[in-house]
A and B are shown apart, each in its own frame.
Chain A
Amino acid sequence: MEASSSTPEFDYLFKLLLIGDSGVGKSSLLLSFTSDAFEDLSPTIGVDFKVKHVTLGGKKLKLAIWDTAGQERFRTLTSSYYRGAQGIIMVYDVTRRDTFTNLSDIWAKEIDLYSTNQDCIKMLVGNKVDKESDRVVSKKEGIDFAREYGCLFIECSAKTRVNVEQCFEELVLKILDTPSLLAEGSAGVRKNIFKQKPPETDASTSGCC
């Protein structure tokens, strides 16, 4: 409905993707961001999708966030969600080292393989900092990783909501700073194939007979 109105309810639409091992808290992070809530979640099946509207840098933004399942059996699936994403959030659990090492072993490779956006902004997120006593991955390690792979870095807790907003904000601001991504997400590109007739039909009618 609103889609066809002349003033869209947002200036830009960005597609964001959450990836990382099973149980690192991707869904919790998303839930915390979109509805200020924290609860025990069962493993995600396939992919989940949420929309959040935010205003940042004076722009009205619509964030379409895809939350993928970390479970091995859905691995084949997630690959097709990389395309077209302007931002990719890699999440690990600071209390589980394997989730961190898997980032370089698996996830970073997946991004290289499947992402279609050269300029796509990547972000590394260490989750569950509320469990400081169980921490096994230090902040320094995270920073080093981020530097090596050229991505943003933040540590947060979905449970206490520490740094959750900031995580998404930082990513989005960086996207806003990247002209090529900005052009893709611009509301002007928006087209609805079901409402918009192909422009050339009229011309061809008169042309053929």
Chain B
Amino acid sequence: MTDINALKTELTSEIEGAGDLQTLDEVRVAVLGKKGRITALMKTLGSMDPEERKTTGAALNALKDEIADLIKSQERALKKQDMDQRLSTEGEDITLSARQAPHGKIHPISQTMEEMVGIFGSMGFTVAEGPDIEDDFHNFTALNFSPGHPAREMQDTFFLPEDDGEEGEYAKKLLRTHTSSVQIRHMESGEPPYKIVCFGRTYRSDYDMTHTPMFHQMEGLFIDKDVNMGHLKGCLTDFVRAYFKLDDLPVRFRPSFFPFVEPGAEVDIGYTKKPDGGIKLGKAPDGQEQQWMEVLGAGMVHPNVLKNCGVDPDEYQGFAFGMGIERLTMLKYGIPDLRTFFECDTRWLEHYGFDPLDRPNTTTR
């Protein structure tokens, strides 16, 4: 037994003295290898008498386990030492720029349109589509603009050459001055009820600080048997509050005129003037004057428009509304100049654009 204890002391000191992994491995082979010292001792067990074999065997096995553990922990210590040594030489300049990743942005007009689809979609509206190049019938006549009516002149229409393949007001081609023409095409294409919104490019011959020859509109139409002006008020009040994310945004409806609705209304939202000349949407605090700005036009669809589309105005009624998408985008996101929307200045797109992963829906903030 003293031999074993002596051996243990000797081997422990050899193992602890191994300064690198190779030396340690040599020690391991010399002790536990096929010809190792403990292995050799184990081999002597066979020539012992059973009693001795039992005690010596147990002692040798314990020694073997202990030594194996010791080697393992020395190995860990040496590996850590090596690793520490290596890592200490592997410093990098973490302030260098990261690898480049693409970073395109979504145009604010698209973002706004997608936001609007989300809000009206949750009210049960679906999207309808119609062409930019329209004819006189769909853009004016069907919408109850009588020929020569001053309202026709209020819009500076872009005209295209007459279409030889069509006749009369269908031959007179123009760029739609509003998305209201989509109402007509939608009603022509199917039976009521109708509950649609549509988005698109519209055109008027005007180009200055606050007008561009092309801009975007959104249009809505809801026709059923019992849709009244109260629904118009509720729908649009809910919309502007959802869109601007202001639950108590003041909304005002006042009478106005568009040939295709009766009664017609314009919708104003409340704001206050800030000392720096800017505006703040929302209810005026006590003592401040509530200011109003117009954001959209609406009304109960004129019976003549329903008739023009083959819908019986004695059975069906409902409302329509329209709004300028750029204007609502500018208001919500604080974009000062309309013309910049179409300039494709990458600095502007980068600044006012939206991340492609930030697609609007009604569940995100």
Q: Do A and B come from one complex?
A: no
